[in-house]
């Protein structure tokens, strides 16, 4: 456990710079958009900005993981690390997850500020009128899950790319292999969704919740906040969790083969 904590601390330090840059830009954007809303007397324009930065949080963890992988890729530190590849990669995923959670908490606090502004201006009757706590939590959970899924894909594709570096004949064309892997996976996914198995009610089972307000402009009333329902397929989410585990183990297996850069 002490060794893993050491890996976790190291990866967090490597991610810290870009994470701080990310937060600073978000904070400056929040101030700028709020100032614009006050200047234009349109308090509702801060809602699209809130939803935009919330959506962009999906890319924070993947970018953090790629940053660390590229740094270690240049030094080939994993070649000389006695820890297992699973621990090495799990440390990176864990570090990215911590950073992701902190950033999403920061966005959630901003969402409370946005709702307070809307409430003070009479655009909503209560916080629940904008987004109930349960729906907000599910939206943040969805963003976190998508971010972790993309992060694992980044690790897997990075491992595929660098594992081909030991073959001189295809070393210069490794990026084509990465594209082919993505294309083959997407093609297989499309084919499977058309099969009778995936059209079964089991895979369509889910819940419909209001997870994202949207803006609508009306000539008489100006900008208005509307609610959007989304269908959440439970079994499909479970399937993606299993796929994430498979891709993570495949990446660990490739790393055990001492990939070269």
Structure tokens at 179: 């594209």
pLDDT for the residue numbered 261: 45
- pLDDT for 139 beyond 60: yes
Q: Which pLDDT band, with edges at 50, 70 and 90, does 245 fall under?
A: very high
pLDDT for the residue numbered 231: 67
**Which of the pair, 80 or 65, is modelled with greater confidence?**
65
Percent residues over pLDDT 90 in the chain: 26
Q: Tell me: the pLDDT tens digits for 209-234?
A: 665 555 555 555 544 556 666 667 77
pLDDT for the residue numbered 214: 59
Q: Which pLDDT band, with edges at 50, 70 and 90, does 208 fall under?
A: low
**Which of the pair, 90 or 257, is modelled with greater confidence?**
90
- pLDDT for 43 beyond 90: no
Structure tokens at 174: 């490794």
**Which of the pair, 106 or 139, is modelled with greater confidence?**
106
pLDDT for the residue numbered 36: 92
- CA–CA dist 180, 13 (Å, integer): 34
- pLDDT for 150 beyond 90: yes
Whether 161 contacts 178, CB under 8 Å: yes
Question: For the range 148-152, what are the long-range contacts, defined as Cβ-Cβ under 8 Å and sequence gap of 24 or more?
Answer: 148/61, 148/93, 148/96, 148/97, 148/100, 148/244, 149/240, 149/244, 150/58, 150/59, 150/61, 150/62, 151/61, 151/62, 151/64, 151/65, 151/93, 151/96, 152/93, 152/244, 152/247, 152/248, 152/251
Q: Tell me: the pLDDT tens digits for 92-103?
A: 999 999 999 999
- pLDDT for 82 beyond 70: no
12-26, 38-52, 68-82, 120-134: range with lowest mean pLDDT: 68-82
**Which of the pair, 3 or 235, is modelled with greater confidence?**
235
- pLDDT for 106 beyond 50: yes
Mean pLDDT of 197-217: 60
Mean pLDDT of 83-95: 85
- pLDDT for 7 beyond 80: no
Using a 10 angstrom Cβ sphere, with 0-12 exposed, 13-18 middle and 19 or more buried, the burial of residue 131 is buried
Structure tokens at 136: 């907000």
**pTM attached to this predicted model:** 0.84
pLDDT for the residue numbered 244: 93
- pLDDT for 118 beyond 80: yes
The structural domains of the chain, with segments of one domain joined by +, span 2-256
Nearest to 173 by CA among 185, 192, 160, 183: 160
Q: Tell me: the pLDDT tens digits for 151-197?
A: 999 999 988 888 887 777 777 778 888 889 889 888 887 787 777 66
């Amino acid at each position: 456990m002490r060794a893993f904590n050491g890996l976790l601390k190291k990866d967090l330090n490597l991610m810290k710079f870009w994470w701080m840059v990310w937060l600073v830009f978000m904070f400056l954007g929040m101030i700028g958009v709020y100032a614009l809303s006050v200047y234009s007397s349109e308090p509702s324009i801060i809602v699209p900005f809130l939803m935009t930065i919330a959506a962009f949080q999906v890319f924070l963890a993947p970018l953090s993981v790629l940053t660390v992988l590229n740094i270690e890729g240049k030094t080939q530190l994993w070649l000389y690390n006695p820890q297992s590849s699973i621990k090495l990669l799990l440390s990176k995923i864990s570090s990215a997850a911590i950073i992701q959670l902190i950033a999403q908490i920061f966005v959630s606090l901003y969402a409370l500020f946005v709702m307070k502004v809307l409430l003070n201006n009479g655009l909503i009757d209560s916080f629940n009128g904008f987004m109930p706590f349960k729906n907000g939590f599910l939206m943040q959970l969805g963003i976190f899950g998508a971010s972790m899924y993309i992060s694992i894909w980044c690790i897997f594709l990075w491992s595929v790319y660098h594992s081909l570096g030991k073959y001189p004949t295809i070393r210069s064309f490794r990026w084509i292999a990465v594209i082919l892997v993505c294309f083959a996976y997407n093609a297989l996914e499309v084919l499977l969704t058309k099969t009778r198995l995936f059209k079964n009610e089991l895979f369509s089972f889910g819940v419909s919740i209001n997870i994202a307000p949207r803006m609508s402009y009306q000539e008489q009333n100006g900008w208005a906040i509307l609610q959007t329902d989304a269908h959440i397929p439970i079994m499909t989410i479970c399937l993606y969790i299993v796929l994430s585990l498979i891709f993570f183990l495949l990446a660990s297996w490739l790393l055990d083969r001492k990939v070269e850069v």
